């Protein structure tokens, strides 16, 4: 599964990251926070949460609004070992 990381510039295209790369980073560093672009489907992000919960991690997921427009949001996912 590929997910899109949050954009650093509004006009830039979001960078992609695989589930395997996320898991590798979490195993290496322990606790990790990821920010995902709004272009990701809610279903895919819930699969990510379930994937890590099944492996014994605590996962916190929320939508973060950064502006007044309803499209000004990103997803925040905390994965704790």
Phi, psi of 26 (to 5 degrees): -70, -45
pLDDT at residue 75 is higher than 90 = yes
Q: Which two tokens stand for residue 70?
A: 């309803």
Residue 62: which residues within 8 A CB-CB, separation 6 or more?
75, 76
* Arithmetic mean of pLDDT over the chain: 95
Mean pLDDT of 46-74: 95
Q: Where are the domains of the chain?
A: 2-80
pLDDT at 81: 87
User: Residue 77 pLDDT > 90, yes or no?
Assistant: yes
Check whether 10 has a pLDDT greater than 90.
no
Residue 80 to residues 11, 34, 47, Cα–Cα distance (Å): 31, 11, 16
Question: Residue 2: is its pLDDT beyond 90?
Answer: yes
Which burial class, exposed, middle or buried, applies to 25 when counting CB atoms under 10 A from its CB (0-12, 13-18, 19+)?
A: middle
């Amino acid at each position: 599964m590929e997910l899109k990381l949050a954009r650093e510039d509004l006009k830039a295209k979001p960078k992609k990251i695989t589930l395997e790369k996320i898991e590798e980073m979490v195993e290496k560093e322990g606790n990790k926070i990821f920010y995902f672009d709004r272009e990701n489907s809610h279903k895919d992000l819930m699969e990510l949460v379930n994937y890590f919960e099944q492996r014994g991690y605590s996962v916190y997921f929320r939508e973060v609004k950064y502006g007044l427009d309803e499209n000004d949001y990103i997803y925040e996912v905390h994965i704790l070992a």
